[in-house]
Chain A
């Protein structure tokens, strides 16, 4: 491996690397052994605690799957509602008119600065005070509302980055054939930017899926984390339930990130596109390096830092 940090290893460096490998591996084994013995001390390794999750379908059909369905429902709804809103605000931020540009910038920056939990708590109380949504349905409404408010503003930034990532020639050509501003946006820029943004949109779904868990912990929304709580007390199985639920989240989100990076690679290869791709790190790029930079393939797809928990 040649990198900016190391030369290709010679014989001594190779020996040292093998030694370090072994040392680190032993360290990891020690850590794993400690965790294992701590768990067996507390009786968390007993088959009775694992059986409901691994060998019995009841825990899944009664608790986890309905919880997962609610998680996915809330995340999907939030994405579908937030997307048009985000597109609207993203386009408004690029408007030529100060009277449109500035207010939408204020709205977007405001909702991006506020924790999504604050928005959820607000929405929950708002629905309790001013609407007649039933108590059972309220947490779902509150979670989706909070997610929509926050993610619409994040998506607005992604849309803005998507439109700005298109080559200038696209706008110039549209002008040259006599399209008006609105036509340029709706028939030239938006369709192209939507495909360019697809990887960033999919990876934003990861943030949304993770944030639904807030509703489970604080608003008694019966999503996956909350379903775990009920199931764990029913089966008296704490650590296994956490491990199982964490694995579900990890698999789900890894699928989404894999999809996002696959889309990104596919789009970069595609001969039809203008070559503009907004990767999952779109927001970092927008604020730090400047709007015109397109994310290089070298960065890895990791970020989601703009999103909350």
Chain B
């Protein structure tokens, strides 16, 4: 066991992936000497060289487009998008090309490209540095979309993502980059497409992913003092969605609350609510409730504490669930 921050765990995972497979490449803005603005790629260029850790021109469409070409040639590129809000110049390449080319080739082409995106708010940043763009990608067939939430998982998830033959959007919760935890560097980890019950409980199922997992665990700990036993699920994979874990849990608890940072309106919580309702309708004691951002752009940082669902807002939703 080693104690690592989430950023360092990703760094170790990337290092393992590059050691294991000479075809794995890293590419992005400032990933080399600087080690990325969050230092996730720190030291990798020094050890693997400029041909494998590629500082790219400042052009996101270029990063994804050339990664597609490299993948067609047998490489496994891992692309870093510097911040969530800057993935949109690359959206065309991701949505019209990366996601659809394998199908267009009737399965003869594989595009094992990982697009790493630091996501979410809570770090006091300026505009476009705190967004949660997951549903643009979960809505795009052909992409796998995953979100890590803690160091141990991040370490194995990034390696599994690199090994996967499908294109993957890999979200990293930037306000959790500096969180530390024990990581077993030899442990295999849970399969990439599975959700995890991170805290078992009887009374209500709290569903989260990425940065909100920690908030939900804190909410569950606080609720314990009031005698409520909350189960917390870390989805890990948004597409595909592990509906089995959800069904099993909500069938038991009868209540479900979903929390994410992105706006609630047509957010990922809507998908969870619909799935859970279809699968657990006769077990539900209350409608599935959603907690998340408002139907507004991410606000200036002096207001972000109001925008981001905190422990109180999560518990408020839990209370509302019990009020039915």
The answer to whether A and B assemble together is: no
Mark B residues whose CB is within 8 Å of A: none
Chain A residues with a Cβ under 8 A of chain B: none
